Structure 1
Amino acid sequence: MSNDLVYKRNWWERNWKWFLAVIVLALGIWLFLISVANTNSIDVVQAYSENALYENALAKVNTNDEAISILGNLEPLDQLAILEGSAKYSTDKQRIETTVRIKGSKAKGKMDISAFKKGNNWQYEKINIRINSTKEVISIVK
């Protein structure tokens, strides 16, 4: 008896449906992640170039006695702190809501900034410091 009539299907013929399903699922997940990440990443990159926004806000924090007594001497913001933070610009790029980490000699926290651009300068509507260890919030600009 000869086995010449038995046809054995190759891997592609047996598994093409699974392969296609995995590709479609991976593509869907990739598109979702790109759409979610893209909105904030563009704003964070733009905020990265706004040195004056963060430096002036930190200078205001350094004049607040309550913040200095809790945080201690504040370290200058490094560029990584801005990239790790979050930023959301208005559609005309004249307003920003941003959060960055700050570190003092006594404690660490987050600085929340809400500001708008007037000419070439930033006007602060709100600067809050959230202390990590105590969950206390210090309002620098209200």
Structure 2
Amino acid sequence: MSTHVPAQPGWWQRNWKWCVPVLGALLLAMFVALALGGVALLLGAIKSSGAYQQALTRAQSDPAVIAALGEPIRAGWFVQGNISTSGASGEADLAIPLDGPRADGTLYVVAEKRAGEWRYETLAVNVDGGERIVLEDHAATASP
């Protein structure tokens, strides 16, 4: 007479109830990390561009902006808009958040790069609360 011993369940059968949620959480964490890395890469490219750097420097040194926002003026983390360059030409359309000790605002930049030089169609700071400070484009207004 032979006795039939039931087969032991395999590892997957014993552990699937905790393994599936753990694998799902790991996949979600990897997806979020990749997405955040991509955003950081894009923001880094925008923040290192000449249009961004020049516009921010002009806003930070403008007496009217300093009077409205206070000093120091720092750029916020999340820049909105886009920038594209190809050699000596390009375009930029940005909204840069500004943080100051007195008030916050947004620096709006619309610029075109020709022959390696950025020219600003729009360069203005909107102070939270309604005031708009237009920064003059010295390159475009310079005498020939």
TM-score range, shorter-chain basis? 0.5 to 0.7
Q: Check 1:56–1:88 CA distance in 2 against 1; reply closer, same or farther (3 A cut).
A: closer
Alignment RMSD, CA only?
4.1
**CA-CA distance at 1:119 after TM superposition:** 2.1
Shift of 1:16: 4.2
**Letter aligned with residue 46 of structure 1:** A
Match of 1:107 in 2: 103
1:44 is aligned to 43
Alignment of 1:75 onto 2:72: yes
Counterpart-to-counterpart distance in 1, 2:6 and 2:105: 71
Counting only pairs closer than 5 Å after superposition, residues 117-136 of structure 1 correspond to structure 2 as: 117-132=113-128, 134=129, 136=130
Assess if the C-alpha contact under 8 Å between 2:68 and 2:103 holds in 1: yes
Is 1:9 aligned to 2:28, yes or no? no
Which structure 1 residue ranges, 4+ long, deviate > 6 Å from structure 2? none
Shift of 1:5: 0.7
Aligned partners of 1:124 and 1:141 also within 8 Å: no
Letter of the 1:97 counterpart: D
The CA deviation string for residues 101-129 of structure 1, in whole angstroms up to 9 with x for no partner, is: 33445322222222221222211122232
Q: 2:91 aligns with which of 83, 95, 99?
A: 95
Residue ranges of structure 1 left out of the alignment (5+ in a row)? none
Q: Could you tell me whether the CA contact under 8 Å between 1:109 and 1:131 is conserved in 2?
A: yes
Q: How many residues align?
A: 132
> Larger deviation: 25-34 or 115-124?
25-34
Q: Aligned equivalents of 2:85 and 2:12: distance in 1?
A: 49
